[in-house]
Structures are given as structure tokens and as C-alpha cells.
A and B are shown apart, each in its own frame.
Chain A
Amino acid sequence: MPAPAPHPTSGGPAEVLVVGADLLGQGRADLLLRDGRFADPATAGPAAERLDADGLVALPGLVDLHTHLREPGREDAETVATGTAAAARGGFTAVLAMANTNPVTDTAEAAEHVAELGRREGSAQVVPVGAVSKELGGVELAELGLMARSSAGVRVFSDDGRCVHDARLMRRALEYVRAFDGVIAQHAQDPRLAGPEACCHEGELSGRLGLPGWPAVAESTIVARDVQLAQLTRSRVHICHVSTAETVDVLRWAKARGVDVTAEVAPHHLLLTTAAITGYDPTFKVNPPLRPDEHVAALCDALSDGTIDAVATDHAPHARHDKEHAFGDAASGMLGLETALGVVLETMLLPGRFGWREVAERMSVVPAHIARLAGQGRPLAVGEPANLTLVDPAARRVVDRSASASLSRNNPWHGRELPDPVVATFWGGRATYRR
């Protein structure tokens, strides 16, 4: 059964012929984009726009499992329109929009509203994530089944920003979503070991800077519990933004036992270290916090060997006035959509840790599968939805936070040279970004 194509608002030429792209680094071919799908290039009409892709690599459109779009509620920080424009700029054709908006996405109506905003204003497919608990309160289950049955078809549930800390609630949530092939995406942070004030990896630097510590075990102990709950309930658990070597060890153990667990890592945890906060710059305040070198190395290894399944941005826009506080008082989070692929190339592809096929796997195919998105992360083959990202492997630039599609400027890469690979993004055959 062919996967349904998304139906973005139309625009641009009816046909685009991409000439000579290197498909996932496996060999050169032409791609014809017609009516939202890939078609046989030999059938291209004379009016087709020709896009010379000499030297470019073609990837399936990227899928971000972890985006904060801030709409509804904080449209001064980001909107569906600006957040998905940033996504398109970063090569993404689908984003999962986290539930911690205002109001919280904890009902079918709220989820449908977010999905509708995406259809109307998005430059990428917007897939709502439903809250696990009402109002993210961690006490009672949200209407998981109604969100799943809604036209938004929610499959990923998360209280992200907060941990589902109550073990019984977590168990019930895991059991309950099994009925509709849902997954619980856990923000693993034991609130007793790392409370709301925790803002610096607990270690030498937290002691020296006098910042409340966020110990690595506050993450790994929750993950150890949740993989066992997933095994008990024969359900699916996904671990958000893995940040510690200890969590990687737990994931390896769980996967070896056959637990249905998947995990993501954020680009910033692959490259930035605790040292970035030495000057108390809140741009580098993020939750979970940046970790020391040995954790960063463990995360890169885990992404390389598949212990960590996916890269997800945790794109977290914040208004300037929510960041320009003392470090401990400032909002947590950093931008990520526009720079994610560049960071993955810098940390994984260029050092030879993996190739283009793995880039496509970890940033498109696997995230789409975790979220059960039928039309994303598909092969670049005739008949498939035309979700395509064209990248120039050699392009680099110094990141400039003012040159962003996002409304916010909390960009931790500002001033740093990174690969800047995305040349064009097509979502359902429509160009959502062209350099």
C-alpha cells in the first residue's frame, strides 16, 4: 500500500527534475518530483524545472522527533510558521511539536488545532505530540486514546520539559498506548535528584561555579526504571535527549534484552561540553545540561553503533527577555533546527563515524518509524512521497544568529563555523527552502 502523501499548499512549478544527485551517497541518479511524489525521470515534461544537483547528495526529508514550536501560547518566541521555516532551512520535512504549549496539547481538540496550524501555515509537516498527563501535571493520564483517534492521529506522547516521575503513572501510560501502537517519549530527569533549579552538570564545574548540580544519574536511573517498565508492559518507550554515558550503558543493556526502547540525542550534546557555561552565558543553559567530554564521546559512540537511534533537535526558542537573566534564572533551551544536520556532519560524517546512509537513517527513516509517520523517511523511489533534502557536503559557514528563520536568537552556535549543507528542501514535492 503506498504511503499517503502530505498535501501542502501548492506553489512553484508542477514538476521539478533534480539532475545528477548522489542518492544517499550510493550513486548518482535523476529524481522527478511530480504531484507530490517521485515519478519516473524519463517522463519529465518539457516545462519541468531542471535543478542541477551535480555534487549534491540527496537525502529523504529529515524528521525531527523533538521540536518546540511555542504556538499556541508563546508566539513572541516562535510560531508554527517561523518554526517550520527554520525546519525547512535545516532540511526537515516533518517536525513533532512538543505538548508543553499554552494550552497544553492534552486533548484531541488541542492536537487537532496544532495539526491544522501546520497544514495552514507550515513549511513542514507538523505532527502534534500529546501530553502523557493532564496539564503535564504528572498525576492523571491525559486523553491519550482520544488524541490517538483524532484527525491528528497522535502516536507520540510526552510530558517533555517534565519527567513522568510517578512509576505507576508511567506504567499505566505505557500499557495504555499499546492499544494503538503509541509510544511514551520520556524526559528522563528524576525531580528529586535534579530539581527545577538544577542547571549545570554535577561535577567539577558546578562546584566551582556554584551552580546547582544536575547529576548524570538523575537521568540514567529513570531510564533504567522505564526500560524495565516497557519490558513488563510489552510496550514502546522512547528516551528523549539522552545526555549521559550512564544512560547509554542502560540502553545497551535494555536493547540486548530485547526491550522495545528507542532513544534520541540532541545535536548540542554531540559537540558542546560543560565548558561552554564557564562564563555563565545563559545561551548555553539547556535541560538536560551540557556534559563533560567523556559523556559527549559516549554519545557519539552510541549514535554511531545504533544504541542511540535518532538525532532530534530539542529546538527550544526563547524570547530574549527570558534568556537575559542570571544563569540560574534564565529559561532552558537552545535553537537547533537550522544547524542540526551541520552538527551531525561535523561530529559523525566528516570524522568517518558514519556515512550518508546512516545520516538518512538517524535523521529521517528511524525518527519517522518511531513516530509512525507513514509518509516520511521513505526511500527516494518512484511512487514515494517527494520529501527530499539536497545537501552540499562541502559548504560551510560561520553561524550568524541574526540570519535565522526562527523568531528567537538563543543560538549556541553563533560565531562558530559549521557545515551548512542544506541547498534545498522539498516537502510533498514543493520547495519549502531554496538557497
Chain B
Amino acid sequence: MRHLLSAADLSLAATTEILDLAEEMAQVQARPVKKLPALRGRTVVNLFFEDSTRTRSSFELAGKWLSADVINVSAKGSSVSKGESLRDTVLTVAAMGVDALVIRHSASGAPGQAAQWTDAHVLNAGDGTHEHPTQALLDAFTLRRHFRRTEPDRETFAGKVVVIAGDVTHSRVARSNLLLLRTLGAEVVLVAPPTLMPAGVESWPAATSNDLDEVLPEADAVMMLRVQRERMSGGYFPTAREYTVGYGLTRDRLTLLKPGAAICHPGPMNRGLEISADAADAANSLILDQVAAGVAVRMSVLYQLLGGEDAPTPIRGEA
């Protein structure tokens, strides 16, 4: 694998390999000494054009526990406003001799463009309202573990129904998750008010609904998407209260879920808006497991990208 730009880049076999390796990485995480020498001598740059504490920290730890040298470059506002083009910024960073660029950008497509300009491996850490493939991988990792509690031999998500509810239009998490969940064989139902359903969704490989109550009883897992409060001024919905009544995972709605159905949220949560405290803290909530899975999954992805064919040659005499 040269780059990870979209969840669509991942076949079922590649996904399974990443998730299996992530399980091994998670074992390392449980050790008192967490470092593996796998990426010693490799350099990973977190090039973040948009603020993100949790994704950046997660990639940083993942790289460090694999013994890569990791630096963070915050390029927020550095391109358009300072007159430097995206290409200049990417080439400047890449020119320092990095092996992988982990890119987060507020504009859709930016990591894909960067991949055309540089020889470094490019990893999409979230681009605009397009994709966030490592989030989808860590969600799949979390769900697979969850399903395996009752079905230890489960490999794919065939026969499982996953409901993704909220601001689908503006959600990169929803796009990547839909692609990966389909690759894993799950059925996906997207739920949103019509204003937050993307154009052309009828051609997506998912069922759609405007009625959360109707679909929750079918769900083996429900992923609640973060709703930005500024969507209200955009006229997407009238008030937070009305949104919660229609599309929030409220305490009352928990009773509609099958026993054991998983509750996920990519964070950060708007407690009381799209998800109630009762749901977030429920026994079936996997929200903290998702965060914990982030490092293991990103270790696995970094290893897949950097640990393979072109591993660094030891310097003569040192070996």
C-alpha cells in the first residue's frame, strides 16, 4: 500500500490484515514498555492544516511506539492567507526527507493532491467533508471486537446492520465508514433530516431514512455523528432542541435498541444534542474503546505503509 487516501483503497483482505495487525499492536499497548523497533530510522510528519488534538496525538503516539521519528507541523492558515500554496507547503515539508506525511486539511481532496506531488507515503487524517479512513478502520476494529464477544470466529460484518445517524452531508466519518462497512459486508442505514442528507445519496450503497425510531430496532450498531452548532445558522435545522427530539440518541430511544447493540461516536460529543449522557455512558457504549483503538489501528496502518519492502538499510559497521 503506497498511500491511504480513501477507505475505498482498502480491499477486504487489506482491511482484515490491518485489523489483525492492530490486534497485535494492541497487545503491545498493554505492555509496560510499549515501544517496538519496527520503524526505527523512519520519519513521519503530522502535517495538520486544521486543528485536531485527538487524531494528531493518536498518530504521534502510534509513530513513536513504532520507534519512528515523529514531528508535528501545524500549517493552519499557512497556505492561502500567507500566500504559500498547498503544493509549496507539502514540497517544503517533504524536502526535509520524510517517509510519510499524515495530512489533515479542512478542504476535501487535499491529501490526494499532495500524494501527486511527493514521493512520501501520504495518509489521509481527515480531509474536509470527504473522508477519514483511519477513523473508519478504528471503528471497524472496535466493532469487530464487540461482535466477537458473542461470536468469536466472526471475520466479516455480513448480516450486521449499522445505522449512521446525523449530519451525513458534512461528515467525512460517515463517508469513510460507509465504504469500509460495505467492504466488510455490513448493511448500512443512513439517517438524517433531508437537509443533512448529501446530494446524490440515492446512488450510495446504503439505505436512507429520515426516521431514527424506525431504524433503531434493526441496528446491531449505531454511530452517532457530531452535529456542528453552526449548522443551525445555515438553516439545516431550526433549533438544537428540535434536532435532539428528531435525531438525538436520547434515553427514551435507548429502549428501541436491541440488547447488546453497540453505540459509537467519533467524538468530540455534543452531549445533550446528538447523544444523551445515558447513551454515551451506557454499558454498550464503545466510545472510549474507539479512542483506545485509534493508536493500535494507526500503528498498524503506519507499519503497512512504511514497514515493508523498503525498510531502511542498517549503516555498515553498526549492524
Contacts and interface: CB of A to CB of B under 8 A. Distances in A.
B101 to A, nearest CB: 14
B88 A321 contact: yes
Contact of B128 (A204, A210, A279, A320): A210
B319 interface: no
A208 interface: yes
A205 interface: yes
A209 B108 contact: yes
Contacts of A279: 109, 112
A324 interface: yes
A274 to B, nearest CB: 11
A41 interface: no
A321 B204 CA distance: 35
A202 B199 CA distance: 6
Interface stretch (A90-98, A325-333, A400-408): A325-333
Contacts of B112: 279-280
Interface in B126-141: 127-131
Place the interface of chain A in its size category: 20 to 34
B128 A205 contact: no
Interface string A366-398: 000000000000000000000000000000000
B200 A204 contact: yes
A213 interface: yes
Contact of A207 (B84, B113, B172, B200): B200
Interface in A274-319: 279-281
Given A324-B86, A326-B107, A210 B130 contact: yes
A125 interface: no
Interface string B83-121: 111111000000000000000010111101100000000
A203 interface: yes
Interface in A184-206: 202-206
B200 A328 contact: no
Contacts of A323: 85
Nearest to A206: B199
Contacts of A204: 199-200, 203
B85 A324 contact: yes
A279 B175 CA distance: 17
Given A203-B200, A207-B198, A210-B172, A327 B85 contact: no
B158 interface: no
B79 interface: yes
B30 interface: no
Given A279-B112, A280-B112, A327 B199 contact: no
Given A209-B108, A280-B109, A324 B87 contact: yes
A contact face: mostly helix, strand, loop, or mixed: loop
B36 interface: no
Contact of A280 (B85, B113, B175): B113
Contacts of A281: 113
Instruction: Give the interface centre of A205, A206, A322 by most chain B CB atoms within 10 Å.
Output: A206
B200 A208 contact: yes
B86 A210 contact: no
B130 A209 contact: yes
A211 interface: yes
A41 to B, nearest CB: 54
Contacts of B200: 203-208
B contact face: mostly helix, strand, loop, or mixed: loop
A329 B198 contact: no
Given A203-B199, A210-B130, A326-B113, A321 B83 contact: yes
B315 interface: no
A281 B115 CA distance: 12
Nearest to B172: A210
B80 A329 contact: yes
Nearest to A280: B109
A325 B108 contact: no
Interface in A132-152: none
B202 to A, nearest CB: 8
Contacts of B131: 210
A329 B199 contact: no
Contacts of A326: 79, 86, 105, 107-110, 113, 128
B201 interface: yes
A202 B198 CA distance: 9
A304 B130 CA distance: 38
Contacts of A329: 79-80, 86, 107
Nearest to B91: A324
Contacts of A325: 79-80, 85-87, 107
A131 to B, nearest CB: 25
B88 A324 contact: yes
Nearest to A212: B129
A203 B199 CA distance: 5
B291 to A, nearest CB: 24
A280 B79 contact: no
Nearest to B114: A326
A210 B88 contact: no
B108 A207 contact: no
Nearest to A321: B85
Given A324-B87, A327-B107, A327-B113, 17 more contacts: A203-B199, A207-B199, A207-B200, A210-B109, A211-B128, A213-B199, A279-B109, A279-B112, A320-B85, A324-B86, A325-B79, A326-B108, A326-B113, A326-B128, A328-B107, A328-B109, A328-B128
22 contacts: A202-B199, A206-B200, A207-B201, A208-B198, A208-B204, A210-B109, A210-B172, A211-B108, A211-B130, A213-B199, A280-B108, A280-B109, A321-B83, A321-B84, A321-B85, A325-B86, A325-B107, A326-B105, A327-B108, A327-B113, A328-B107, A329-B79
Interface of A: 202-211, 213, 279-281, 320-329
Lowest 8 A-B CB distances belong to which pairs? A280-B109, A204-B200, A326-B107, A207-B198, A210-B130, A210-B129, A324-B87, A324-B85
